[in-house]
Amino acid sequence: MRKAGFLSEEAESWYAEADVLLQRVGAHHAQGLRTLGLTTIRLAQDRTAEIEPVMRAVYESVGAPVGVALALVLARLDRLDEAQAVSFPAEPVTDHLYGMELDFRSQLAVLQHDQETAAALVEHLLPLRHQLAGAAGAVYATRPLAHALADLYRLLDEQGSAAANYVLAERTALAWGSPHLAGSARRAAAELSAAHARRRTLAT
């Protein structure tokens, strides 16, 4: 079985190769494709600080369309005030990156403890909960959308729905051949269960 780190390195080399090929044929969006690919990898590796200068430069060039990614990077670095100041569209854009954007927005809502946004995102995610974020675009992938949905339910204190979706997230990850993502869903479910047990203990 190949390790998650090896797969990330392999994916990174694919993005670099694609970048060269696309630039060779004059694809003007090549650098943006590579940047987005590297962003998903660095976030998964928890190497967020490395991608922040790159994402900021892209945001300064492109603006709001990449705002969600920059805001998430800043929030992951615990720079919540800066993340709050980043501009991006009020509603997710329903293109080939829709699933990945929903995942990014969900992570951001959890980090900002934004229950109003979380409740709105639940409605977007429910029809897609069996999918892997980004898989529809066949280029980028982050994690099962059920994992994002479970995190939102946990923020909204809907523990039963959160637990059920962590189970679904693990099943989806295994179906896509990702033991790494499956393990992440299992750990999140265990953390939810432990937190619930602590709350019950304190209540007695």
CA distance 4 to 182: 12
Q: For 143-169, how does the pLDDT look when each residue is reduced to its tens digit (9 = 90+)?
A: 999 999 999 999 999 999 999 999 999
Paired strand residues for 132: 144
CA distance 75 to 112: 8
- 7 to 12, 14, 41, 51, 97: CA distances (angstroms): 8, 10, 10, 18, 21
**What is the reported pLDDT for 16?**
47
Give the residue, 37 or 33, on which the prediction is more confident: 37
- 110 to 6, 63, 150: CA distances (angstroms): 29, 23, 11
Average pLDDT, the chain: 84
Least confident of 93-107, 136-150, 186-200: 136-150
As given in the structure block, the two tokens for residue 101 are 């954007």
Q: For 51-87, how does the pLDDT look when each residue is reduced to its tens digit (9 = 90+)?
A: 999 889 889 988 898 899 999 999 999 999 999 999 9
Where along the chain do its domains lie? 1-89, 93-204
Mean pLDDT, residues 21-25: 39
Domain spanning 93-204: CATH 1.20.1540: no
